[in-house]
Structure 1
Amino acid sequence: MNMKDWLRKHPEVRTIRVAAADLNGQARGKRVPARFAESVVKNGTRFPFSVLNLDIWGEDIDDSPLVFEQGDQDGVLKPTERGFMPMPWLEAPTALLPIWMFRENGQPYEGDPRHALNAVVQRYKARGLTPVVAMELEFFLIDDSGKTLQVPPSPRSGKRRKAAETLSIRALDAFDTFFTDLYDACEAMDIPADTSTSETGLGQFEVNLMHCDDALRAADDAWLFKMLVKGLARRHGFAASFMAKPYPEYSGSGLHTHFSVIDEKGENVFDSGGPKGTQMLRHAVAGCLNAMHDSTLVFAPHQNSYERLVPGKHAPTSIGWGYENRTTAIRIPAGSPSARRIEHRVAGGDVNPYLMLTAILGAALCGIEDQQEPPSAITGNAYAMDLPQIPTDWEAAIEAFEHSDTLYRFLPKELIRNFVQTKRQELHYIAELSAEERVELYLDTV
């Protein structure tokens, strides 16, 4: 269905939101009366390039060349191929139109994370290859109405279960009305939500998004899903957060990505017919490992992200890979050879999905292009081994990202510069906040 037909089929929609993802994955855009929507579809809309480069508070970046040096010029934002979709977490019937940014001459804006991902996907296509991506998103349901965060009371029993409930059906049942609404909303928004499970954290859950042979769409799904979960939880009277580590004493939330690559015949190029996978799988693993240290800022973009990356807490801290080994940063899951794939386990739930997929798929492609070889696969506990380490603090990750010789192969220079400036500004101002103020900041934003 084209976009104009969608509007005609939904006369109840009175307003639309047009929104793009900034570097932090925040939705930036405008509210438009529905009667002007066709103009947006045809002509796009405009706002400054600097809007995709705001800090976590939504403030301009100090000394950004986008603001005063370039006169705070406008970009042209056009609808993505996704088109209109409902926003089921709002009271009034409203449609969301995802958009992405271009220059006046029609060229993609290099600071738009969705364009960065598209550029990597096109490089795969030039080699006759297509990435197939699935994601597992963890989040917490939280009662943030008091001075301390706690699990919300069950809408069914009114009780709070103050314990981790790993794979607990009871925990899922306790929030059945929320999850029923969530799956209905995913259906309406065409987000391929699959299984949901209760996880090891307090009020923590995971929802899997089905594998998809369109990486842009997979990133869209993750971005939209995060927006939906947070909005819908508020309608149910509590918060949902993808914050990496809301509770110091419990495991944090990850966003694990599974990917394989198919050729022009639709065959999985990682499938060797056995459990080990092909040489191309090894090249892709090597590429991911070689870029991991320098791209950690993408996988752990916030101050709170580094509270998750601690040994023995279900998040990787060292750079290594293994078969069916959840202590490693890169895991090759067991199962049918035709489904042989790579699981990248570093990212927290607080990431920008577009940047995350760009970093993962871009690094894997570098490994494939250079025929890189990985070190030996790890057996046993990776936490107890002497391995290269992921940066353990935010400032070190910013330094590694800024001065990398690797990332320029799959991230535009303008995006790298903008992201570094954003993170340096946040690093400066977050140092002034108390622990409680930091939690308050991240709870709703990321």
Structure 2
Amino acid sequence: MEFLDKLPQAALDFMDGRKLDEVECIVADLSGIARGKAMPAMKFEKQKHFYLPNSIFLQSINGDWVEDADAPFTEPDMVLVPDFETATAAPWTADCTLQVIHDVLDQSGQMVPVAPRNVLKRVVQLYHEQGWDPIVAPEMEFFLVAKNTDPNQPVEPPIGRTGRRAAQRQAYSMSAVDEYGPIIDDIYDFAEAQGLEIDGILQEGGAGQIEMNLRHGDPVKLADEMFYFKRLIREAALRHDCFATFMAKPIQDEPGSAMHIHHSVVDINTGENIFSNPDGSESEAFLHFIAGLQNHLASTIAIHAPYVNSYRRYVRDFAAPINLEWGRDNRTTGLRVPISGPEARRIENRLPGMDVNPYLSIAASLACGYLGLMERREPRAEYVGDAYDSAEGIPETLASALDLLEGATQMQEVLGKDFVRVYTTVKRAENEAYLQVISPWEREHLLLNV
């Protein structure tokens, strides 16, 4: 098979002389769900073109199809082009299977503007045109939970190796991590088979909540890895009769799960971090980037908090920011400057939840920083103290967040007007579907009392 010469070494190592049985051709939809098709490896070798209908970007999280007035009703096919650099194993399958992320083009060869990976590439290209290379380092938080087959029942922590449910509020406890050590072992094994690097794993503050850190690097490559990691982690959990969930707030009275994004920018010609001056002090660019986040993040909260459940995470004094303040080594601020040397100076955006599409959340965060670098404005004064006392807030509902995104003309220019139109259309439909659901709380407290 000729395409085997294009595969990364990790994929070749996984095959280790075995016959390749199947190739999964995948793309991420607006929710970050893997869409595509699987085919025998021999057919993948012979097929010259791969197609999917453009309607995959008009499907909501609940499976409904949303109408877009600007989209043709004929559902024309998009052309999928394999990016062989992304080829990686699917080590949980019974046979020898590879996954390949595909670029999404229209039939004239242009990038489809609503495809999430293309949205991120568009923003990265804006940086490149200025001679900059954006660098990101994402953090992944998620819960391991007992199998929940009845949506009417609350989610519970899993049973650990001691026979007890995972303990809450045991942040950084090695014993808590050991409770579900076999799942962690499979995560490590799957990641190694896929050629994915994990920087570290720790117990977070919630019962059964884990944080996994990834090394810093290229935004598109890191988003690809997070896309793969979500599937990998779910498969590892299923092997041990539990679920892995990336919901922002899956368990009542527990902390939510975040996807913090660390940002820095380097000069393409020199390789130097533009956030630091030659003498090691903070540069003007660093402050401009922070200002961009402060001035534009509110308009992108609908991307960083994409579901109604996302807003349950933004709770005062509950390990999640509720403001757009910035501070040095201050975890009460939405924007935190971690302790580092000049070469690693960076800003951490703590607003995104783990329920995001990684391509879109990274793109939106970078877009805010880009606008700040171009506008060259100063941020508000550093917040010293408990930023939960700050009056500077963020949208409290998905509907209000979508209003801000629809009114943000500068952000639409950066992310693409077509993308924003389709995204807000889909999210409005999801919000309306949610409003039709009557919750147990309403039945308990309103049915006989009002």
TM-score, normalised via structure 1 length: 0.92
Offset from partner CA, 1:270-315 (integer Å, 9 cap, x none):
1236786211000111111111111100100001000001211111
Alignment match of 1:120 (pick from 118, 123, 133): 123
Match of 2:435 in 1: 431
Q: CA deviation at 1:57?
A: 2.3
* Matching of residue 152 in structure 1 with residue 158 in structure 2: yes
- Structure 2 CA distance for aligned equivalents of residues 218 and 394 of structure 1: 26
> Are the equivalent residues in 2 in contact too, given 1:61–1:422 (CA < 8 A)?
yes
Identical columns (%): 34
Q: CA deviation at 1:436?
A: 7.3
* Matching of residue 227 in structure 1 with residue 231 in structure 2: yes
- One-letter amino acid of the counterpart of residue 33, structure 1: P
- Structure 1 CA distance for aligned equivalents of residues 77 and 272 of structure 2: 43
Match of 1:440 in 2: none
Match of 1:405 in 2: 409
- Structure 1 CA distance for aligned equivalents of residues 383 and 29 of structure 2: 37
User: For 1:406, what is the secondary structure of its paired residue?
Assistant: helix
Match of 2:88 in 1: 85
- Structure 1 CA distance for aligned equivalents of residues 96 and 440 of structure 2: 35
Alignment match of 2:329 (pick from 318, 324, 329): 324
Q: CA deviation at 1:37?
A: 1.5
* Matching of residue 268 in structure 1 with residue 264 in structure 2: no
Offset from partner CA, 1:30-78 (integer Å, 9 cap, x none):
11111112235xx34101111123100233113554351xx21111011
Please give the residue correspondences for 1:127-276 in structure 2 after superposition, counting only pairs within 5 Å.
127-145=130-148, 147-154=153-160, 156-212=161-217, 214-263=218-267, 264-272=269-277
- Structure 1 CA distance for aligned equivalents of residues 357 and 234 of structure 2: 15
> Are the equivalent residues in 2 in contact too, given 1:363–1:410 (CA < 8 A)?
no
- Structure 2 CA distance for aligned equivalents of residues 415 and 255 of structure 1: 22
Match of 2:447 in 1: none
> Are the equivalent residues in 1 in contact too, given 2:86–2:224 (CA < 8 A)?
no
Q: CA deviation at 1:391?
A: 0.1
Structure 1, 11-20 or 101-110: larger mean CA deviation: 11-20
* Matching of residue 60 in structure 1 with residue 65 in structure 2: yes
- Structure 2 CA distance for aligned equivalents of residues 159 and 133 of structure 1: 38
Match of 1:23 in 2: 30
* Matching of residue 351 in structure 1 with residue 356 in structure 2: yes
Offset from partner CA, 1:320-345 (integer Å, 9 cap, x none):
11111111111111121221001010
User: For 2:100, what is the secondary structure of its paired residue?
Assistant: strand
Match of 2:75 in 1: 72
Q: CA deviation at 1:355?
A: 0.6
Give the 3 Å change call, closer, same or farther, for CA 164–18 of structure 1 in structure 2: same
Q: CA deviation at 1:223?
A: 1.2
- One-letter amino acid of the counterpart of residue 216, structure 2: H
- Structure 2 CA distance for aligned equivalents of residues 10 and 103 of structure 1: 36
User: For 2:80, what is the secondary structure of its paired residue?
Assistant: strand
User: For 1:58, what is the secondary structure of its paired residue?
Assistant: coil
- Structure 2 CA distance for aligned equivalents of residues 307 and 374 of structure 1: 28
Structure 1, 138-147 or 337-346: larger mean CA deviation: 138-147
Give the 3 Å change call, closer, same or farther, for CA 149–192 of structure 1 in structure 2: same
Q: CA deviation at 1:9?
A: 5.6
User: For 2:402, what is the secondary structure of its paired residue?
Assistant: helix
Alignment match of 1:315 (pick from 301, 315, 320): 320
Alignment match of 1:305 (pick from 303, 310, 319): 310
Give the 3 Å change call, closer, same or farther, for CA 406–62 of structure 1 in structure 2: same
- Structure 2 CA distance for aligned equivalents of residues 2 and 353 of structure 1: 32
- One-letter amino acid of the counterpart of residue 106, structure 1: G
> Are the equivalent residues in 2 in contact too, given 1:198–1:204 (CA < 8 A)?
yes
Q: CA deviation at 1:86?
A: 0.8
Match of 1:442 in 2: none
Match of 2:102 in 1: 99
> Are the equivalent residues in 2 in contact too, given 1:320–1:329 (CA < 8 A)?
yes
- Structure 2 CA distance for aligned equivalents of residues 436 and 291 of structure 1: 36
Runs of 5+ unmatched residues, structure 1? 438-446
> Are the equivalent residues in 1 in contact too, given 2:66–2:426 (CA < 8 A)?
yes
Cα RMSD of the aligned pairs, angstroms, is 2.0
- Structure 2 CA distance for aligned equivalents of residues 421 and 10 of structure 1: 48
User: For 2:141, what is the secondary structure of its paired residue?
Assistant: strand
- Structure 2 CA distance for aligned equivalents of residues 246 and 16 of structure 1: 33
TM-score, normalised via structure 2 length: 0.91
The count of residues paired between Structure 1 and Structure 2 equals: 430
Give the 3 Å change call, closer, same or farther, for CA 249–55 of structure 1 in structure 2: same
Give the 3 Å change call, closer, same or farther, for CA 98–236 of structure 1 in structure 2: same
Q: CA deviation at 1:10?
A: 5.4
Offset from partner CA, 1:8-47 (integer Å, 9 cap, x none):
865443222111011111111011111112235xx34101
- Structure 1 CA distance for aligned equivalents of residues 72 and 146 of structure 2: 39
- Structure 1 CA distance for aligned equivalents of residues 280 and 243 of structure 2: 42
Alignment match of 1:392 (pick from 396, 400, 405): 396
| Divergent runs of 4+, >4 A | 6-10, 273-276, 434-437
Match of 1:383 in 2: 388
> Are the equivalent residues in 2 in contact too, given 1:243–1:253 (CA < 8 A)?
yes
User: For 2:168, what is the secondary structure of its paired residue?
Assistant: coil
Match of 2:444 in 1: none
Give the 3 Å change call, closer, same or farther, for CA 148–408 of structure 1 in structure 2: closer
Give the 3 Å change call, closer, same or farther, for CA 276–433 of structure 1 in structure 2: farther
Q: CA deviation at 1:397?
A: 0.7
